[in-house]
Structure 1
Amino acid sequence: MQRRLRDGASKMVAAFNSATGSKEARESLNEANRGYREYTEHMCSLESELENQMGEFHIKMKGLVGYARLCAGDQYEVLMRYGRQRWRMKGRVEVSSKQVWDSEDNVFLPLITELLSIKVTELKSLANHVVVGSVSCETLDLFCPLPQTVAVDINDLGTVKLNLEVNWRSVSPQSSLFTTSPCLTFLNPCSTFIYLPILLVIAKPGHL
């Protein structure tokens, strides 16, 4: 409802801007601008209140999968961005093919309008870094009561994947939203292994 009201106010502003500069038009434009600001502020307030009740994403790094792409001695950096939240980790592939990462778990707070951005870079030397791939993903499928293993295609061919374990911890049973709001009707059983939907695959170096 608030979004429709805001969109309507935005269209009114555009219409009055294109109209003649009469006194009535200026007054109507000022009123439409006030309405747009009011509805926008209300929407931001509602989103903030809802996000405070959406629990947490507990994420564990399970490693990169690259088949013949990963070799012993290779070093990688993974950067995850979710709104203003950041998680940067560096890892290397050992002779035994085991991967060692300097950070293996992190917590993200769910956001309503943001995408989860993931960038993987191969660290060849101090002055020579190669971007393996960059993707942006929806997070809707992460709202699941069971821990999930998530496989994300990092490059366009899908030859490099990032494996994560995601555990969504919802709001506590004591929360009023938990018992009264229909917002939690998505708590249905779902698969414990998913491919995260990707909206943008492959970005040129420096895009993230």
Structure 2
Amino acid sequence: MSTNRLTPFTKRSITMNNSIPEILGQEQIDLARLKKQAQLTQTSIPKTPRITRTLKTLESVLKVLEEHSRKCKHQIDELIQSVANENHQLARQLHEAQVAYLKLQAHTASLQSLKDCYCRYAHMLDGARTMFNAYQQTSTKRDSIDQVKLGLKECTQTLCAIEAQLEAMLGTFVLSLQEISGFSRICPGDEYEIVIRYGQQKWKTRGRIRKHDRTEQIWTRQIFHLKAKLADLLLIKVNEVKLLGVSLKTIGTKCFEVNNFYSIEAQRMIINANQSGTIKLIFLIHW
């Protein structure tokens, strides 16, 4: 999992008319640096902030990290006790555990700080929209409306840049395709195609059921690395290959929320590929 550090905060004041409240507040993050870091990590910056889904994802991630942090702390306490009892063979293991714990704490703190900043700007954006709508319904001077529009634009750009940096810190999902099963529905010699879409990421694999043993399957690809995203859904489509690989018959398409994928332990996911559930896909998910 990535351990990018939090972008430092900078303070700069914005000169506004006395009659207009300071929409953006006094403390802001360095927008230019956020954009540059997004380019370095090859993370695309969205044009529109996805506030609700972003906060929901961050809540899931931070919950998992905090739980893992507690487990690591408990393990360190046990190792300290063992070393204190003159079991010096565990000293190296204790040191490694302490280093990993400190990295985890720093990464969690960075995510939490960015989340707090994101929440502040989301609140400012809501206030700027309310003010803009109110000014449009009154005879306010054009300069005042333009100033509010400027604040609205800067809030939007900052939220989008923060989302890009957060995505760079979410790590990667590794999906391992175990098998396709279906009892009487899966026959020896059948061939299937699986398409996986996650945001702009797309993977495709084809598999064939062995003629002499339906439990033995050959796939062109079984491991899929998906860069974790804040607001995208995972889509899995299963096709049955017909007519010597020329024609495809769609069996089913499933769409998933990935927030449950954030877990320290590996998870086994069983998907009903068709509506009746007679064909199932089995994946092993690591984060």
TM-aligned CA deviation for residue 115 of structure 1 = 0.8
Name the residue aligned to 2:280.
161
Letter in structure 1 aligned against 2:200: R
- Give runs of ≥4 in structure 1 deviating > 3 Å: 7-17, 26-33
TM-aligned CA deviation for residue 5 of structure 1 = 3.0
1:152 aligned onto 2:271: yes
TM-aligned CA deviation for residue 160 of structure 1 = 2.1
TM-aligned CA deviation for residue 138 of structure 1 = 0.9
Which has the higher mean CA deviation after the structures are superposed, 146-155 or 110-119?
Answer: 146-155
- Partner of residue 101 from structure 1, selected from 208, 219, 231: 219
TM-aligned CA deviation for residue 60 of structure 1 = 0.9
| 1:153-173 deviation per Cα after TM superposition (whole angstroms, max 9, x unaligned) | 2223322221111111xxxxx
TM-aligned CA deviation for residue 34 of structure 1 = 2.6
Compute the TM-score of the two structures, normalised by the length of structure 2: 0.52
1:130 aligned onto 2:130: no
1:40 aligned onto 2:156: yes
Q: Which runs of 5+ in 2 are unaligned?
A: 1-118
TM-aligned CA deviation for residue 10 of structure 1 = 4.0
TM-aligned CA deviation for residue 27 of structure 1 = 4.3
Aligned to 2:230, what secondary structure does the other structure show?
Answer: coil
| Structure-2 separation of matches of 1:93 and 1:61 | 14
| 1:169-204 deviation per Cα after TM superposition (whole angstroms, max 9, x unaligned) | xxxxxxxxxxxxxxxxxxxxxxxxxxxxxxxxxxxx
CA spacing shift, 1:31–1:93, aligned 2, 3 Å: farther
| Structure-1 separation of matches of 2:182 and 2:191 | 13
Structure with higher helix content: 2
1:6 aligned onto 2:125: yes
CA spacing shift, 1:15–1:120, aligned 2, 3 Å: farther
Name the residue aligned to 1:60.
176
Name the residue aligned to 1:118.
236
Number of matched pairs: 165
TM-aligned CA deviation for residue 109 of structure 1 = 1.2
Q: Which runs of 5+ in 1 are unaligned?
A: 169-208
Name the residue aligned to 1:205.
none
Aligned to 2:189, what secondary structure does the other structure show?
Answer: coil
TM-aligned CA deviation for residue 16 of structure 1 = 5.6
CA spacing shift, 1:144–1:15, aligned 2, 3 Å: same
Letter in structure 2 aligned against 1:155: N
Compute the TM-score of the two structures, normalised by the length of structure 1: 0.69
Letter in structure 2 aligned against 1:43: L
Aligned to 2:164, what secondary structure does the other structure show?
Answer: helix
CA spacing shift, 1:135–1:8, aligned 2, 3 Å: farther
| Structure-2 separation of matches of 1:32 and 1:65 | 58
